[in-house]
Amino acid sequence: MKRRKIQIAAGGALLLIAVLVNIKYEWSRLALFIVAYLIVGWDVVLRAAKNVLKGRVFDENFLMSVATIGTFFIAQYAEGVAVMLFYQVGELFQLFAVAKSRKSIAGLMDIRPDYANVEKAGELIRTKPEEVRPGDIIVIKPGERIPLDAVVVDGNSFLDTSALTGEALPREVAPDSELLSGCINLSGVLTARVTKEYGQSTVSKILDLVENAAAKKSQSERFITKFARYYTPAVVIIAAALAVAPPLIFQQGFDIWVYRALSFLVVSCPCALVISIPLSFFGGIGGASRRGILIKGGNYLEALAKTEIMVFDKTGTLTKGVFEVQKIFAVGMPESAVLELAAYAESFSGHPISLSLKEAYGRQLTGGRVTRAEDIAGYGVSAIVDGREVFAGSAALMQKLNVPYTEGDSVGTVVHVAVDKKYAGHIVISDELKSDAAQAVKELKSSIKHTVMLTGDNEYAAKKVAEELGIEKVYSGLLPGDKVRKMEELFALKSAKGKIAFAGDGINDAPVLARADIGIAMGALGSDAAIEAADVVIMTDEPSKIPEAIRISKKTLRIAYQNIILAIGIKTAVLVLSALGITTMWAAIFADVGVTIIAVLNAFRALIIKKGIQKNVSVRSAV
């Protein structure tokens, strides 16, 4: 960039001298213009020549070289040098804008750790994160970036997670807390055990995601690439015809028509489109990453802007997924016995419902009492507890076993328990709505057609949640396969160009995430499956990030369309006027360089992302 600045300054100075100084001999004046031209544009001409030899003829370098060299043959030296000078100024501005946006994104995503302090034989050895293995003990001092995913062994501290989540509020960690690579340790010294090698760590996956996002182009970007492929050769052919045909037909001098043809070529350079459209999407993806929203490509960003139906999973998406036992209904045995059997049956599961049952039981689960345990996907679990066959799960599990059961009218998730194929009762477990869930749904309803919730919970609890949040349609009692079928039905509600987005946890809802036009994984911190499965990854568990992501996508698409209309509109007008001889090459320079600068400035706005809704809504419900 520094060399380009010197090049422009020197060429501009010589051009000014050549214009202002009254040189007696024409050849001396021509020589000065040629030197000025070579200083300013030699690299453009060189690139054009190399591309021609490689078979890539019709690009902006070729157009600018032909147009500016052509002016020397019709004695328009000053305009030829000026066109190349202003073209280089535009290129310099583009380089600055792109570098600025890349630097901004690089700074925001600068989460790659430089080193890890590995503890060996009582000593700390600084080494590369790539050389650390799972099980190694690392020490993170205050101010250092966490190099790998790990679990705290000793120490208490606060972490800055803003680079991953976009949130400024520090997160407290203590022994047994998970540490995510890329976060910054703010206060105490932490000793931690590494759980994943660097290539599988959170920081590595996020960096790969962001770096590869540019490869997945949107329809707008693909359109511009295809447009330029046919547009540029077409204008060269038209310019050639404009330079030759009218003089032969109307018996006029070639100078006038060659000048018009050269102006035509200058206008036709597609820089404004080729540079600003990808820059718009690049900026949108980078701006979203600042807010803890990772979008895996321009194609997903564009599809997100066209969302008409937003479908939610309930647990872990709209609710916190932190369950508490609220009520126990027993049949033929004490309530404590129903809870005990359910806790033992669920003892090998890490599901939030299982954890809540074990916590409510409140005693140490003794070994040897469970001789067999099996997870029944989508239904619940079965286990042999003290020699008795225990089933714990949904109403669908009781139906599958042909066991008569009592649904009850309590609000919450109901875990039915059967012992030796006889109904023993049920346990009602409640969840808590996320603080920003209601406001997020309200904001979404102002920009999309339908909001829908799919859940495996009972109908009463599901409808209660939907009413509190303002969700229009709710489908309850669904197994994973049922959710996919419901998703298929929802496609009939959208328009031909509309899209369906689904927000879930990225693990249990993987089939639905894959079937939706846009899969949004919620609360992906530490969740490998979420990062892999979804098209959009929300690094926190806040529903408010979803309308924010849609706002960012709509803004980005709006900027891209503005640039397309601006560039094509002005260029078309000036192309016609140039062909008719109404405008000069100076207007052509504006239609190329000026429009490009305006378009790049406009594209740069995609990086500027305002914060979303304030999290001032608190809703608690037994759901």
Bridge partners of 139?
191
Strand order across the 307-313 sheet: 293-295, 536-538, 518-521, 499-504, 307-313, 450-454, 473-475
Q: Is 583 helix (H, G, I), strand (E, B) or coil?
A: coil
For residue 183, give the nearest of 129, 270, 113, 98 by alpha carbon.
113
For residue 357, give the nearest of 438, 413, 408, 404 by alpha carbon.
413
Joined tokens for residue 83: 């066109």
Q: Name 181's Cβ contacts closer than 8 Å, sequence gap at least 6.
A: 111, 113, 129, 145, 146, 147, 148, 149, 150, 198, 201, 202, 203, 204
Q: How far is Cα 469 from Cα 182, in angstroms, rounded to an integer?
A: 34
Strand order across the 190-194 sheet: 123-127, 116-120, 137-140, 190-194, 150-154, 178-179
Q: Buried b vs exposed e over 358-380: b needs ≥16 C-beta within 10 Å?
A: bebbeeeeeeeebeebebbebbb
Q: What is the largest CA-CA distance in the chain?
A: 117
Long-range contacts of 229-232 (CB under 8 A, 24+ apart): 231/268, 231/270, 232/58, 232/59, 232/63, 232/268, 232/270
Q: How far is Cα 134 from Cα 131, in angstroms, rounded to an integer?
A: 10
Q: Is 212 helix (H, G, I), strand (E, B) or coil?
A: helix
Residues serving a catalytic function are 313
Joined tokens for residue 419: 């012992």
Joined tokens for residue 442: 């309200």
Asked if residue 248 lies in contact with residue 569, where contact means CB atoms within 8 angstroms, the answer is: no
Question: DSSP label at 152?
Answer: E
Q: How far is Cα 224 from Cα 302, in angstroms, rounded to an integer?
A: 14
Amino acid occupying residue 523: G
Amino acid occupying residue 540: T
Q: Name 112's Cβ contacts closer than 8 Å, sequence gap at least 6.
A: 182, 203, 207
**Secondary structure of the chain: what % helix, strand, coil (to 5)?**
50, 20, 30
Beta strands in 146-225 (DSSP E): 150-154, 157-160, 171-173, 178-179, 184-185, 190-194
Asked if residue 428 lies in contact with residue 412, where contact means CB atoms within 8 angstroms, the answer is: yes
For residue 71, give the nearest of 17, 122, 15, 2 by alpha carbon.
15
Q: Residue count of the chain, please give it.
A: 623
Around 20, how many Cα atoms within 13 Å sit in the side-chain half-sphere? 6
